């Protein structure tokens, strides 16, 4: 299994958003859900339209039971995510019980994990993201930017359903970054 990384540069993060937004609203929404929710790809792909849209406007919260842990998860729909949902729904012509990220292949099936990986890698390549990125990179991106925004690792660890803060630090690549900064600070 390849190790993936978060997108650590805001300009690159915005560039990926812009690229996907201009290319395909469904793929843009998938990326937005991924970077604003800390969900795993299996949970993102299982979302139905009625998870995010009440028939007239975006939902205030998204609620589900995580596939991997079975734990209940609820998170608010951020203003940026609301915009992405509105843009997608303006072009949507399916049913509320359909998968949100419906594939063009088959009847009411979500896109595949493989398609999601390929789509994300293509977007990252197009905007110059050099580090390895994949579907799990969206979850890591959320955690990384939550930390950079000053959110306590305690809360980030809870949101990611990690057992410890040390696990969260490793997961986000913060241990190596912290060690690098220590060497730079000592500067003998």
Which of 40, 48, 82, 140 is catalytic? The answer is 40
- Which two tokens mark 83? 């915009």
- Alpha carbon 136 to chain centroid distance? 8
Residue 51 annotated as catalytic: no
Residue 144 annotated as catalytic: no
- Which two tokens mark 100? 């949100």
Q: Pseudo-torsion of CA 46, 48, 117, 11, nearest 10°?
A: -130
User: Given the structure tokens 């293509």, which residue do they identify?
Assistant: 122
Which of 28, 92, 144, 171 is catalytic? The answer is 171
Which of 48, 139, 140, 169 is catalytic? The answer is 139
Angle at 16 between CA 12 and CA 17, to 5 degrees: 115
Which of 17, 26, 136, 169 is catalytic? The answer is 136
User: In sequence order, what DSSP letters do the residues of 9-58 get, joined into one string?
Assistant: -HHHHHHHHHHHHHH-HHHHHHHHHHHHH---HHHHHT-BHHHHB-SSSB
Q: Which residues in the chain belong to E strands, given as ranges?
A: 61-65, 72-76
Residue 183 annotated as catalytic: no
Residue 162 annotated as catalytic: yes
Residue 68 annotated as catalytic: yes
Which of 68, 71, 107, 163 is catalytic? The answer is 68
Residue 71 annotated as catalytic: no
Active site residues: 40, 68, 136, 139, 162, 171
């Amino acid at each position: 299994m390849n190790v993936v990384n978060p997108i650590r540069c805001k300009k690159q993060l915005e560039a990926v958003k812009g690229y996907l937004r201009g290319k395909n609203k469904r793929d843009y929404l998938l990326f937005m859900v991924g970077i604003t929710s800390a969900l795993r790809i299996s949970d993102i792909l299982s979302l139905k339209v009625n998870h995010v849209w009440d028939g007239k406007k975006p939902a205030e919260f998204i609620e589900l039971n995580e596939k991997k842990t079975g734990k209940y998860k609820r998170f608010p729909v951020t203003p940026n995510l609301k915009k992405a949902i509105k843009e997608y729904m303006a072009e949507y012509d399916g049913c509320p019980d359909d998968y949100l990220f419906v594939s063009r292949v088959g009847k009411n099936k979500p896109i595949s994990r493989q398609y999601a990986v390929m789509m994300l890698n293509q977007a990252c390549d197009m905007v110059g993201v050099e580090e390895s990125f994949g579907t799990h990179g969206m979850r890591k991106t959320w955690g990384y930017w939550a930390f950079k925004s000053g959110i306590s690792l305690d809360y980030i660890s809870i949101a990611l359903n990690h057992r410890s803060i040390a696990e969260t630090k490793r997961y986000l690549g913060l241990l190596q970054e912290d060690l690098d900064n220590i060497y730079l600070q000592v500067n003998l």
